[in-house]
Structure 1
Amino acid sequence: MFGKAILIHNGSAGQAETGSRLGAVIGPLEAGIEELTLVQTKEPGDAERICRERGEETDLLLVLGGDGTVHECVNGLAPLADPPVVGILPGGTCNDFSRALYIPQELGRAAEALMQGRTRPVDIGRANDRYFSNFFGIGLITDASVNINPQLKGTIGKLSYFISTLQTAASADPFRFTLEHDSGRTDGEAVMLFVANGRFLGTRPLPLAADALYDGVLDVAIIREAGLPLLKELFKIKNFGEWDSEKSSFEFIRTTSLKLTTDQPMQADMDGEIYAHTPASISVLGKKLTFLVGEEQP
């Protein structure tokens, strides 16, 4: 049983949708929380500010929203000396980080799972002065996010991400990069560089170990060639054990920190939010925040 909890939810959703979402979770949450406060965001940045200002006042911080809202909350909570436990109620398009935490994707079931009280300290990535929970990426992944059709996203949800990626992959321009990491230095040309902390991208599992969220290491994929075969290979690989570096278009690096420079400043995508740029100093903060988790599947 939690004493005090704050539930942050997106105020940009319509009244009917907001009522439906809250109605699905309030019952299960009240069974495990003595005092629950609802806080509605009104504009971008509100969730981060609320977490920063009120995070240390509560035992539990609940986030009802998608990966973008989670990203804001992580950036508000990570700098705190005594952050609360965090629970995610998936209300977005892909909800990738919640999937890595084994949280059911139906809101009512998610609330019930969170109130079981299972917790796990997880790693958080840091890029310059900002934080990410799921990934940092440049190149193809940023282009795909920029090219998503908002109307298409609203109509068919997560499928829009893959359609945009396929369209972008056919015309991806390579860029030159230099990467300094625990094992040395890597440079050359690539179409995408992806730094993973989480285990899902666009609802699809990545070929990372089950403990990727709390192993104290970042998984870096350097993708040097564009095209549909590359995307098929990315999602076909199940784990590093199946990956053959001699036959692959990918290069994988595991590191605790890295310094990334590119020949020209490039936009960077963090958890689906695009506002950062290269160069970037990236590191992992081991077990920085504690999250409520669902029941792990065998």
Structure 2
Amino acid sequence: MTDILLVVNDIAGNGRNGSNTFRIVKNFAQKGISTTVCPIAENVVLGPADYLDNHRYDMVVCVGGDGTVNAAVNLLMKMEDRPSLGYIPAGTTNDFSKNLKLVRDVDKACSVITSGNLVNYDIGCFNGFYFNYVAAFGAFSAISYKTDQKAKNTFGYAAYVLNALVSAPEHLQTKCHMRIETDNGDFEGDFIFGGICNSLSVGGQKI
């Protein structure tokens, strides 16, 4: 591995992920790896897709939260010749990384990424969108992306909980009629919530 596209979501988590960028690039440089930095921030015109259209990278490394890595998965799944994906957790909840027991320490994460030990991971598809963690419908399924980013930066995980409590009366009126076909039988009915999980927890809660 000699060439990495580093996607840094400076909005995720506490909003200070950019401060670790030099540290990450230095770690990679010490291993002889060339790094191109793609920041995700306000008023930045070029996104990861623009870089991937113009160059073949060995790996895309994301620094951010669950949404950041999911966006990268959706981008890479549409490519025929996909680079590998690395991830440094730096979001609000980091459910995905907790399920895989990924390290959050920047130096240790860089060491794991550059070790060359790749693993396969299952990806699902739901209504044309790829998911690596969970796809859901019904009550509270929109909480993760409708919670204000500034509130997440300030209050962390509590921002999700507060949003869920405030919107609970509306969400609990939700009903989705679904027919679900599985290897073990078919199910049909009205559901308040449903989730397809590739995970041991959802929204920070074990299932």
TM-score (norm 1): 0.58
Letter in 2 for 1:129: G
Map 1:47-126 onto structure 2 (within 5 A). Answer: 47=47, 49-50=49-50, 53=53, 57-126=56-125
Map 1:3-18 onto structure 2 (within 5 A). Answer: 3-10=2-9, 17-18=16-17
Cα distance, 1:52–1:139 mapped onto 2, change above 3 Å: farther
1:163 and 2:162 are equivalent in the alignment? yes
Cα distance, 1:147–1:27 mapped onto 2, change above 3 Å: closer
1:136 and 2:146 are equivalent in the alignment? no
Offset, 1:80: 1.7
Match of 2:177 in 1: 177
Q: Secondary structure at the match of 2:33?
A: strand
Q: Secondary structure at the match of 1:195?
A: strand
Tell me the percent identity.
Answer: 24
Letter in 2 for 1:192: F
Match of 2:153 in 1: 154
Offset, 1:61: 1.0
- What CA distance in whole angstroms lies between the structure 1 residues aligned with 2:64 and 2:150? 19
Q: Is the 8 A contact 2:58 2:84 kept in 1?
A: yes
TM-score (norm 2): 0.80
Bigger strand share: 1
Letter in 2 for 1:101: L
- What CA distance in whole angstroms lies between the structure 2 residues aligned with 1:144 and 1:12? 18
1:35 and 2:34 are equivalent in the alignment? yes
Match of 1:199 in 2: 200
Letter in 1 for 2:59: L
- What CA distance in whole angstroms lies between the structure 1 residues aligned with 2:99 and 2:66? 12
Match of 1:212 in 2: none
Task: Structure 2 unaligned segments of length 5 or more: list them.
Answer: none
Map 1:234-249 onto structure 2 (within 5 A). Answer: none
Letter in 1 for 2:127: N
Cα distance, 1:133–1:54 mapped onto 2, change above 3 Å: farther
Q: Is the 8 A contact 1:134 1:199 kept in 2?
A: no
Q: Is the 8 A contact 2:123 2:132 kept in 1?
A: yes
How many residues end up aligned between the 2 structures?
Answer: 202
Q: Is the 8 A contact 2:66 2:94 kept in 1?
A: yes
- What CA distance in whole angstroms lies between the structure 1 residues aligned with 2:163 and 2:197? 20
Q: Is the 8 A contact 1:48 1:74 kept in 2?
A: no
Offset, 1:66: 1.6
